[in-house]
Chains A and B, each alone.
Chain A
C-alpha cells in the first residue's frame, strides 16, 4: 500500500492552503480532487474579496486562487486530479478512484478532509422543470463555461451567494427579474444588495415561490408573500416572466467521508447543520484526521484558507515537523486573522458557533486537543 505523510482530500481554498502550509513545514503531501482542475469554488469567484490586506482583500477570488496554485506548484506538491476519495477507514486508510478508473488504497499518517459543501434545494410545484438550478451551478455556467443559463432569471434567496450570483448574471448579460427572500429582511451584505438594486433589480422580502410554470421548461413563476408564520397571504400572488430560477437557499457541509471515518459529529444550525466535531487546531475526534473549510461549517473562502493553514500547520506539528513553540506562535497568528474575519454584524454569530463546537466535547476527547 502506498503511503504518504499527509493526504488532503479536496483542493479548494482550504485544501490548497493546508497543502502549502504542510509542505512548507517539510511534510510529504498528496492533494486529491475529483475535478479536472484544482481551486474548488475559488475560480468561480470573479468578484473582489472583502477582508484586510493580509486576507488579500480587494483582490478577485479567481486571482487569489491563481496565487495559491502557484505557491503549490513552486512547492512541487503532488496533486491527483479527476480522482475521487470514496472512503476513509481504519483511521488512516484512504480509498481513491484515481483518474475515474483505477482503485488505489493509500495510507496517510495524517488526513485533512476539505471537501467543502453542497447546495440546498427547496421544493415547489414545478421545481423539476428544466431551468430550475442551484445558484452555484449558474455561477459555474457563466464564469467557468461562459454559457448563459437563461435570459430572465429569478433568484431565490438573498444571502451573499444569491446577491453575488445575481450581480454576476447581470454582468454576463442576463436580466434578473427579482430576488426573493422568505425572511422579512435581506440576508446578504448591504453593499452587495445595493449594487444589484442600482442595476434595477427588485427585491421581494417575505416572498416564496408558489409555483414554476411552463411546458418543457420554466416560462413563468408565481411568487407569493408569506406572513410571519410562513403561510401564504391570500391575494398577494404575482406572476413574473422568467426562464430560469436559481436557488441560493443555503449550503450543507459535505461530511460523509469524515463520518465514515468515525469522526464524532456536532450540530450547528448557524454553520449549516451537522459538522465533524473539531478543536481550534482543526483536529477531529479521530486523532489522525483534521478538517478545514466549509466542511467544518459553511463560511467563506477567506476563513477556509485560514482554517486550511491551521490544519496544515497543526498536522505538520503533530508529525514533529514544526517545533511546539513555533507551532504555538504561528497558530495564534492564524487564529487572530480568523477572529478578525469572524467579527462584526455578520461574523459574530459564526464566531460563537465555532467556539461552542470547540468546547462541545470538553476534556473527554481522546487527547485531540
Chain B
C-alpha cells in the first residue's frame, strides 16, 4: 500500500485525507464517495449535483469536497465524472448486505439478478455479489450504472466487479 503514484490506486490514508471521501459513512442509506485525490482541472461532479453537495473551493483544480449531510445518494454525479472516480454506497441495503452503485464501461454488461465477482481497488476478487440493476439511459452517455449487493463485511473494499468474459 504505497499510494496512488506507485500502486495506481489511492491508499486508505490518501482517501481519508481527501475532502471528497466521507470519513465515516454516517448513515445506513446511500452516500456518494469521491476518490479524486489529485488536483486536476475538472469539476463536472460539482456542476451535476442538484443538491450542491459537491463543491470545489478555490477554483477548477481544487479537490472536490462532499457535504455528506446534503448528499441523498441520487447518483447523478457518477456518470459525468470523466475519472470514473465516484460511486454511491449504502452500508445497509438490507440486513447483512451493502450495495454499491458504480460506473461501468465494458461490454458485455451484466444482467439484473446475475451473480458477479466483486473486486477491490487492485482488481482482486474478494467476494460475490448480486446485480440489483443496470442503468443505461441516454443521458448517461454510454457509461452504465450498475448496482450490486454484497456482504457488509466487505463494505470498505468493494469498488467494482470483475469484467465479464468477451462474448
Residues of A within 8 A of B (CB): 47-53, 57-60, 63, 158, 170-171, 173, 179, 185-186, 189-201, 203, 205, 340-347
Contact = CB atoms under 8 A, between A and B. Distances in A.
Interface in B58-102: 59-61, 80-85
6 contacts: A52-B41, A52-B60, A57-B47, A179-B8, A191-B81, A199-B123
A216 B133 CA distance: 47
- Of B38, B80, B162, the most chain A CB neighbours within 10 A belong to B38
B10 A340 contact: no
A198 B83 contact: no
Interface in B113-134: 119-124
Contact of B61 (A193, A198, A203, A344): A344
- Of A49, A170, A194, A342, the most chain B CB neighbours within 10 A belong to A194
Nearest to B42: A50
Chain B contact-residue range equals 35 or more
Contacts of A346: 38-41
Contact of B7 (A192, A203, A344): A203
A201 B124 CA distance: 10
B30 to A, nearest CB: 20
A344 B83 contact: no
Interface of B: 4-10, 35-44, 47-48, 59-61, 80-85, 105-107, 119-124, 141-143, 159-160, 162-163, 166
A191 B166 contact: no
Contacts of A52: 41-44, 47, 60
Nearest to B159: A198
User: In terms of DSSP, what is the predominant structure of the interface of chain A?
Assistant: mixed
Given A190-B38, A344-B60, A198 B160 contact: yes
A152 to B, nearest CB: 14
Contact of B82 (A58, A197, A347): A58
Given A189-B38, A345-B39, A347-B41, A195 B83 contact: yes
A171 B103 CA distance: 13
Contacts of A345: 38-40, 61
B82 A344 contact: no
A92 to B, nearest CB: 37
A203 B8 contact: yes
B35 A191 contact: yes
B119 A343 contact: no
Contacts of B60: 51-52, 340-341, 343-344
Contacts of B6: 185-186, 203, 205
Given A191-B84, A199-B123, A199-B163, A344 B39 contact: yes
Contacts of B163: 170, 199
Contact of A57 (B4, B44, B106): B44
